[in-house]
Structure 1
Amino acid sequence: MGLSGIRRHKAAASGTALLLALGAAAALPSFDAAADGTAAAGTTYYVDASAGSDSRAGTSAATAWRTLGKVSAAALRPGDTVLFKRGEEWNGTLALARSGTAGQPLTVGAYGTGERPVVGGGANCVWLTGSYWTVRDLRLTGCDWAGVEIEKGHHNTLEAIRADDNVVGVSIADTAHHNTVRGSELIDNNKMSVDDPGGDDDSGAFGVLLNGDDNLITGNTIAGSYATSHDYGYDGAAVEIYDGDRNRIEYNVTRDNETFTELGHDTDKTADGNVFAYNVVTSKYERGSFLVTRGPDTGLGPVRGTLVVNNSVYLPGAESQGWVCHGGCDTDILKLRNNVIAVGWKSGYEDGAGADEDTGVYDGSQHQFDAGPDSVFADPRFTGPDDLRVRAGSPAIGRGEPTGYTVDITGAPVPEEGATAGAYEYRP
Structure 2
Amino acid sequence: MYAAAGSDSRAGTSAATAWSTLGKVSGAALQPGDTVLFKRGQKRNGDLALSRSGKAGARLTVGAYGTGARPVIGGGANCVTLTGSYWTVRDLRLIGCDRAGVQIEKGHHNTLLGIRADGNVVGVSIAGPAHHNTVRGSELIDNNKMSVDDPGGDDDSGAFGVLLNGDDNLITGNTITGRYATSHDYGYDGAAVEIYDGDRNRVEYNVTRDNETSTELGHDTGKTAHGNVFAYNVVTSEHEHGSFLVTRGPDTGLGPVRGTLVLNNSVYLPGAGSQGWVCHGGCDAEILKLRNNVIAVGGKTGYEDGGAEDSGVYDGSQHQFDAGPDSVFDDPRFTGPDDLRPRSGSPAIGRGEPTGYTKDITGAPVPAEGATAGAHEYRP
| Correspondence 1:366 to 2:318 | yes
Question: What's the % identity of the aligned pairs?
Answer: 87
Determine which of 119, 123, 126 is the counterpart of 1:169.
123
- Residue 2 of structure 2 corresponds to 46
Q: What SS does the aligned partner of 2:57 have?
A: coil
Structure 2 unmatched runs, 5+ = none
| Correspondence 1:108 to 2:71 | no
Determine which of 398, 402, 406 is the counterpart of 2:354.
402
Determine which of 391, 394, 405 is the counterpart of 2:343.
391
Give runs of ≥4 in structure 1 deviating > 2 Å.
none
Paired AA for residue 78 in structure 1: P
Paired AA for residue 174 in structure 1: G
Taking the aligned partners of 1:328 and 1:228, their CA distance within structure 2 comes to: 30
- Residue 426 of structure 1 corresponds to 378
Q: Shift of the alpha carbon at 1:202?
A: 0.5
Q: What SS does the aligned partner of 1:175 have?
A: coil
Determine which of 81, 98, 103 is the counterpart of 1:127.
81
- Residue 82 of structure 1 corresponds to 36
Q: What SS does the aligned partner of 2:272 have?
A: coil
Q: Shift of the alpha carbon at 1:287?
A: 1.3
Taking the aligned partners of 2:2 and 2:247, their CA distance within structure 1 comes to: 46
- Residue 289 of structure 1 corresponds to 243
- Residue 197 of structure 2 corresponds to 243
Q: What SS does the aligned partner of 2:245 have?
A: strand
Q: Deviations over 1:86-120 (max 9, x none)?
A: 00000000000000000000000000000000000
Q: What SS does the aligned partner of 1:400 have?
A: coil
Taking the aligned partners of 2:119 and 2:182, their CA distance within structure 1 comes to: 15
| Correspondence 1:333 to 2:301 | no
1 or 2 for the larger relative contact order (CA 8 Å, sep ≥6)?
1
Q: Shift of the alpha carbon at 1:337?
A: 0.1
Paired AA for residue 281 in structure 1: V
Paired AA for residue 27 in structure 2: A
Taking the aligned partners of 2:270 and 2:74, their CA distance within structure 1 comes to: 35
- Residue 260 of structure 1 corresponds to 214
TM-score under structure 1 normalisation? 0.89
Q: What SS does the aligned partner of 1:269 have?
A: coil
Determine which of 99, 107, 117 is the counterpart of 2:53.
99
Paired AA for residue 213 in structure 2: T
Paired AA for residue 18 in structure 2: A
Q: Deviations over 1:142-199 (max 9, x none)?
A: 0000000001100000000000000000000001000000000000000000001112
Paired AA for residue 61 in structure 2: T
Paired AA for residue 368 in structure 1: Q
Q: Shift of the alpha carbon at 1:318?
A: 0.7
- Residue 265 of structure 2 corresponds to 311
Paired AA for residue 394 in structure 1: S
Taking the aligned partners of 2:238 and 2:294, their CA distance within structure 1 comes to: 18
Determine which of 107, 132, 144 is the counterpart of 1:178.
132
Taking the aligned partners of 1:238 and 1:407, their CA distance within structure 2 comes to: 23
Taking the aligned partners of 2:2 and 2:217, their CA distance within structure 1 comes to: 41
Q: Deviations over 1:36-95 (max 9, x none)?
A: xxxxxxxxx1111x3x10000010100000100000000000000000000000000000
Paired AA for residue 410 in structure 1: T
| Correspondence 1:413 to 2:365 | yes
TM-score under structure 2 normalisation? 1.00
Q: What SS does the aligned partner of 1:262 have?
A: strand
Structure 1 unmatched runs, 5+ = 1-44
| Correspondence 1:136 to 2:69 | no
Q: Shift of the alpha carbon at 1:136?
A: 0.1
Taking the aligned partners of 2:177 and 2:103, their CA distance within structure 1 comes to: 19
Q: What SS does the aligned partner of 1:70 have?
A: helix
Determine which of 164, 167, 173 is the counterpart of 1:219.
173
Taking the aligned partners of 1:392 and 1:232, their CA distance within structure 2 comes to: 41
- Residue 298 of structure 2 corresponds to 344
- Residue 158 of structure 2 corresponds to 204
Q: Deviations over 1:245-272 (max 9, x none)?
A: 0000000001001100000001110000
Taking the aligned partners of 1:246 and 1:425, their CA distance within structure 2 comes to: 26
Taking the aligned partners of 2:84 and 2:152, their CA distance within structure 1 comes to: 39
Taking the aligned partners of 1:238 and 1:161, their CA distance within structure 2 comes to: 16
- Residue 11 of structure 1 corresponds to none
Determine which of 325, 330, 334 is the counterpart of 1:382.
334
Taking the aligned partners of 1:270 and 1:158, their CA distance within structure 2 comes to: 25
Q: What SS does the aligned partner of 2:16 have?
A: helix
Taking the aligned partners of 2:152 and 2:27, their CA distance within structure 1 comes to: 43
Determine which of 67, 71, 82 is the counterpart of 2:25.
71
User: How many equivalent pairs are there?
Assistant: 380
Determine which of 135, 141, 148 is the counterpart of 1:194.
148
Determine which of 118, 127, 135 is the counterpart of 2:72.
118
